[in-house]
Chains A and B, each alone.
Chain A
Amino acid sequence: MKNHVWRPLFVVLGLVAVILLVRLFIVPDDFSVGERGYMYGYHRLGNEQEWKDFKTKFRTSTYCNDCHEEKMAERVGSPHALIECENCHGLAGDHPDNPEKLTLDRSRELCLRCHTRLAYPSSQRKDLAGIDPQEHNPGDACVDCHNPHRPNLEEM
């Protein structure tokens, strides 16, 4: 009974042992210090691959070109050739499997993203063909008159 003062310490040590034991089971094996050191690189290494395997949905015009060659050809030489198909047609994902049909945005607002006239010095915006949406045929869809694939006014 001499050393009863140490008993709480034994309880504490037991607690620590339990925590360390639980840790052994719960912490994933690949949890370690990565190449960036402890401060910036302490993580579960497998997570990097998980992010690399994340699904790509934006397939870019090379993917579209595989099937829609004639549509792609239509744009050549037009200022809109700069624009990715999927910006207006919606991200392709696994099209044509999923989604079967893309949701094309034909709205006036889509065009206004670039073509509301904003005469901003020191921004390229001022150089784009611009209209005042309240003056220029309000309510009408732009695509009624303009061909979005060849929007040049001379070809209207």
Chain B
Amino acid sequence: MKRRDFLKNTMIAVAGASIPLSALEMIDPRELFAAHPELRWVFLADTYKCVGCGFCVKACKVENDTPYDANVSRTWVERYVITKSGEVHIDSPKAARDGFIAADIYKGQNPLALEVDFAHGRVDKTSVPKGEFASIPEEDIAQAFFVPKLCNQCENPACVQVCPVGATYQAPDGVVLIDRTWCIGCGYCIMGCPYGVRFFHPVYKVAEKCNFCYHRISKGLKTACATACPFGARQIGNIRDPNDPVTKAIMSERIGVLKDEYGTKPQVFYIGLNKEVR
């Protein structure tokens, strides 16, 4: 074979191999859209509206059979208190299952196992060392707000990519689900999630996470947390439906997402996100 022929053939081979590849790249998303033009679940959380009552966490735990007293939760609420001197205090006692009924913010160890003195609406300080609480006077607070957290049902879920057995996957409507009969419990997905939404279910011993109450949304109901929220701080919607109020809000409001630097394309959108929230 002559050198020129060889080069020519190589060129043809390379071009031939690259065309179908690039063609696939181009067609793939459109094909997906064609298959499901009508449904992609998204979530909208409004940090102005959230008052930290924690009814969402309570409802979620019961609805989804997460053991009520286990220190894990599919969803939780964080409190951010930022002082005028720039200090940031964050807490989420018991994942906010019982709401935020005390002004003090716990700064010490194991904030989850914290005993809250319910009778007086304050954190029991007798059981933990002094100086581990931040009691912030009202006049020092520059801003303070609550942030609901749940699974972001990412468009490119890092947790699914790393599952070695195909036990977690993205459903056609965008929700990431876990196959409880196939999960081996290696924990790689828990490590792979940048948002810390995954954990091991204490009873089933497999990976567990929020799935937007898949059983509810596929029956036309709202998620348990969105149903429980009296203030409309949590809303579930379909981004493919231009008339959906959630879609309208996402299109018209200034919204943010968590940790977009990981390229996961999270689908939980926040109104009033601050840089302290990660």
B14 within 8 A of A: no
Does A42 lie within 8 Å of B230, measured CB to CB? no
Among B28, B36, B167, B228, the residue within 8 A (CB) of A43 is: B167
A102 to chain B, nearest CB (A): 12
Complex contacts, B32 vs chain A, CB 8 Å: 35-36
Q: Number of residues in B with C-beta < 8 Å to the partner? A: 66
Q: Tell whether, in the assembled complex, residue A112 and residue B99 are in contact, meaning their CB atoms are under 8 Å apart.
A: yes
Closest to A117 in B: B103
Q: Contact: A119 with B138, CB < 8 Å?
A: yes
Contact call A51/B99, Cβ cutoff below 8 A: no
Query: Which residues of chain B are within 8 angstroms of A60 by Cβ–Cβ distance?
Result: 221, 227
In the complex, are the beta carbons of A124 and B122 less than 8 A apart? no
Interface centre among B64, B168, B179 (most CB of A within 10 A): B179
Instruction: Give the docked Cα–Cα distance between A54 and B180 (Å).
Output: 12
Q: At the interface, yes or no: B231 with Cβ under 8 Å from chain A?
A: yes
Which residues of B are interface residues toward A (Cβ below 8 A)? 28, 32, 35-36, 47-55, 58-59, 62-64, 81, 98-103, 118-122, 138, 141-146, 156-157, 160-161, 166-172, 177, 179, 181-182, 211, 214-216, 218-219, 221, 224, 227-228, 230-231, 233, 272
Q: Which 5 A-B pairs have the closest CB atoms?
A: A133-B121, A113-B99, A120-B144, A43-B169, A54-B215
Binding site for B on A (CB under 8 A): 31, 34-37, 39-44, 47-48, 51-58, 60, 82-84, 86-87, 90-91, 107-109, 112-114, 116, 118-125, 128, 133-134, 138-139
